[in-house]
Amino acid sequence: MFDRFNENKNSLIKIEFDGTVLDALEGEMVASVLMAAGIMNFRDAPVSNTPRGPYCMMGVCFECLVEIDGVGHQQACLVPVRSGMSIKREKAKRLISDDLVC
């Protein structure tokens, strides 16, 4: 549960997460954009499929993995937002091609 200081709620850029448009501060990390939108559940843990969210916010824990502009398994706490970015929540096991699942 995170919120922006009021002064930071103006002049925000727009990015997209799983189809929803979100506000972002220029230069901030993808992870905090999601957190500000109330999203703390970024992915499912690969073994038990239980929800996981950011823990360290510095690139060490690898919990904040999301797909950014088509490239998967990116650490959201290390990638700065850009206007128009498209972010997707990932499955625990990468699906590298829909038609290859057997």
Partner 1 sequence: MTSDFIVIGGGLVGAAVSYGLLKLGATVTILDEGDTAFRASRGNFGLVWVQSKGDGMHEYATWSRESSDLWPNFAELLVEETGINVGHHRPGGLELCLDEAEYMDFENSINRMHNQPNVAENGRRMISGDEVRRMEPSVGPEVVGASYCPYDGIVNPLYTLRALHQKCIESGLIYRPDHEVKKIIPQIRGFKIITNEGYFLSDKVILAAGNGNKALGEFVGLDIPTGPERGHIVVTERTSPLFNYVLGAIRQTDEGTVMLGATKENVGFDSGFNFEMAAKIIDKAVRKIPALKKLRMIRSWSALRIMSPDGFPIYEESSNFPGAFVITCHSGVTLAAAHALKLAPELLGNDFNGKFNAFSPKRFNVR
Partner 2 sequence: MTLCVDVVIIGAGPAGMSASNMIHEYGGRAVILDEQSEPGGQIYKAIDRVMRDRPNELSWLGSAYHDGARLTKKFRSQAKDYQPGSMVWHIECRNLDGLYNIFYSQAGVSKKIETKYIVIATGAMERPVPIPGWTLPGVMTVGAVQSVLKNSGMYPSGKLVLAGAGPLVLQLASQLIGAGISILAILDTSPKGSFLKALRHFPRALFAGDYLYKGWNLTNKIMQSNTKVYRNVTELNASGDGRLQNLSFKVNETKHCLKADTLALHEGILPNVQLTRLLDLEHVWSPRQRSFSPVVNSWGETSLSGVFVVGDGAGVSGARTAEYSGAIAGIIILERLEYIKESQRDLIIEDRKFRRLLDEGIRPFLDTLFPAPERIGEVPDKTIICRCEEITAAEIREVVKKGCSGPNQAKAFLRCGMGICQGRMCGTSVTEVMSKALEKKPAAVGAFRVRPPIKPLSLEEIVTLNDN
Piece of the chain touching partner 1 by CB under 8 A; list 2-10, 15-23, 50-58, 91-99 = 91-99
Whether the Cβ atoms of residue 63 and residue 31 lie closer than 8 Å to each other: no
Contact partner, 29, from partner 2, partner 1, none, Cβ < 5-8 Å per class: partner 2
Question: Counting contacts by CB under 8 A, is residue 48 touching partner 1?
Answer: no
Residue from 2, 8, 73, 83 binding partner 1 (CB under 8 A): 73
Query: Distances in Å between the alpha carbon of 54 and those of 71, 81, 83, 95?
Result: 19, 16, 22, 22
Contact partner, 95, from partner 1, partner 2, none, Cβ < 5-8 Å per class: partner 1
